[in-house]
Structure 1
Amino acid sequence: MSHTLDIKTGGKSLNEAEKVLIMIHGRGGSAQDIVSLSQHLNVKDYALLAPQATNGTWYPFSFMAPVEQNEPWLSSAVETVEKTVQTALDAGIKSENIYFFGFSQGACLTLEFLARNAQKFGGAAAIIGGVIGEKIDRENYKGDFAQTPIFLGTSNPDFHVPVERVYATANILKEMNADVTEKVYANFGHSINQEEIEWANALIFK
């Protein structure tokens, strides 16, 4: 099984915008939900693209499960992000004007896509997520972010995402020349807080 490409849009139209924000929803969430979150971000001039996961889930098991357990959904999910990026590129948007925002399962998918395709992007905010797999396969991650700003926010503890994986992800992104800022909130819970939104606006959507 694989995901059907279904991209919800918001903000400016692709032919009018110079910047694009790709928003990746979490497990059980929807593209519509995450697009509505954009009203809290400084992205009034951006076109918004939010792919919808088939059945509301990008892959069936934990992101810390062995990769083969999450296939073929995981490969299809990464491909869905690639196609969403390609939609922006095809509209004449440069990669350095493509931005990302992901939450939870969507943050994991965003980070996995970025680490596999490192290049100069506009920036990314990933709230409660890390690269995917029971063990990190560093061989999968190639390229140079050329100082793309990436914000990682998380809660510790988090039921789904161990803080160690967030730190390990930050280290990989830094090795690949990303400008990483990480913030860990004690006992905040599995959601997005106001300060994370403010950090995202200050660092990424400025």
Structure 2
Amino acid sequence: MKSLPAKSVAVFAVTFGITISFVLLHHPNPSPVKPDPMARSFVLWLHGLGDSGPANEPIKSLFTSPEFRNTKWSFPSAPSNPVTCNYGAVMPSWFDIHEIPVTAESPKDEGSVLKAVQDVHSMIDKEIAAGTNPNNVFICGFSQGGALTLASVLLYPKTLGGGAVFSGWVPFNSSMLERVTADARKTPILWSHGMADRTVLFEAGQTGPPLLGKAGVSCEFKAYPGLGHSISNEELRNLESWIKSRLQSSS
């Protein structure tokens, strides 16, 4: 359930380093400074089971478009909790998971999910209080973090910029949708899932968009053939474009 294994992180770090070096060496002379039309934005990234926030920080290095120059990134780490699917072993976990692989019919621990949602909402509230427009707040997550992203966005009372779910699932029963406010229904969802995923089955991801559609929530679903339980560069490039198209200017 980890999003970026230690080995992968090392590879990503090297790749990013090469990319950054190339940009620095080949960047043209800077043009005169102009007023910055981009408002402050916020991207909150929620990692998968057993992972950590710092291990995922290299992700932000891929987002090099000028639109992200005023973006604040946050990579929190989940608290350590016993996890049922891992025989009660204590590890970083946003909420309890009862079985692996996760299927469309897997048991849902709504109590621990709602507790985690409250923590995410506190992070969002703090950022909005600091002056960020809710329309420029984006919550993203992989696997367990993707499931938490979905619940957090849907249960937040305001319209946000968007929620991006990678290899996630619906961690609550359909009755939970009755708690989604009219403003929350306006927050768009991007859902990406590998078709070769053996940890969170593709079918678990597929059940999400139709359920959201019935609740009036807009969800763009993207399937990635051959992709297992991981995040690809293609998915992240698509995420960059998706967020860019929704960022609000300061004007």
Contact 1:122/1:148 (CA < 8 Å) preserved in 2?
A: yes
1:153 alignment partner in structure 2 = 192
Distance in 2, matches of 1:191 and 1:59, equals: 20
Higher deviation after alignment, 150-159 or 76-85: 150-159
1:52 alignment partner in structure 2 = 77
Distance in 1, matches of 2:185 and 2:118, equals: 23
2:211 alignment partner in structure 1 = 172
User: What are the superposed Cα offsets for residues 100-131 of structure 1, whole Å, 9 maximum, x if unpaired?
Assistant: 11111100100011122264211222111122
Give the structure-2-normalised TM-score. 0.66
Matches within 5 A, 1:22-61: 22-41=44-63, 42=65, 43-55=68-80, 56-61=92-97
Corresponding residue SS for 1:188:
coil
Contact 2:196/2:229 (CA < 8 Å) preserved in 1?
A: no
2:62 counterpart letter in structure 1: H
Judged with a 3 Å threshold, the aligned counterparts in structure 2 of structure 1 residues 115 and 162 are, in CA distance, closer, same or farther, namely: farther
Contact 1:149/1:203 (CA < 8 Å) preserved in 2?
A: no
Higher deviation after alignment, 169-178 or 119-128: 169-178
2:243 alignment partner in structure 1 = 204
Q: Which has the higher helix share?
A: 2
Match of 2:126 among 48, 70, 87: 87
2:174 alignment partner in structure 1 = 136
- Give structure 1 stretches of 5+ with no counterpart: 1-16
C-alpha displacement of 1:98: 0.7
Distance in 2, matches of 1:173 and 1:155, equals: 19
Distance in 2, matches of 1:102 and 1:47, equals: 16
Higher deviation after alignment, 104-113 or 157-166: 157-166
Contact 2:185/2:217 (CA < 8 Å) preserved in 1?
A: yes
C-alpha displacement of 1:44: 3.3
State how many pairs are aligned.
Answer: 187
C-alpha displacement of 1:176: 4.2
Does 1:100 find its partner at 2:125? no
C-alpha displacement of 1:61: 1.7
C-alpha displacement of 1:143: 1.9
Distance in 2, matches of 1:200 and 1:48, equals: 14
Match of 1:182 among 203, 221, 236: 221
Corresponding residue SS for 2:59:
helix
Structure number with greater Rg is 2
Give the structure-1-normalised TM-score. 0.78
CA RMSD of the aligned region, Å? 2.5
Percent identity of paired positions between Structure 1 and Structure 2: 24
Contact 1:81/1:113 (CA < 8 Å) preserved in 2?
A: yes
1:191 alignment partner in structure 2 = 230
2:40 counterpart letter in structure 1: E
Higher deviation after alignment, 188-197 or 27-36: 27-36
Higher deviation after alignment, 52-61 or 100-109: 52-61
Higher deviation after alignment, 17-26 or 164-173: 164-173
1:53 counterpart letter in structure 2: A
Contact 1:109/1:132 (CA < 8 Å) preserved in 2?
A: yes
Judged with a 3 Å threshold, the aligned counterparts in structure 2 of structure 1 residues 141 and 131 are, in CA distance, closer, same or farther, namely: farther
C-alpha displacement of 1:177: 4.1
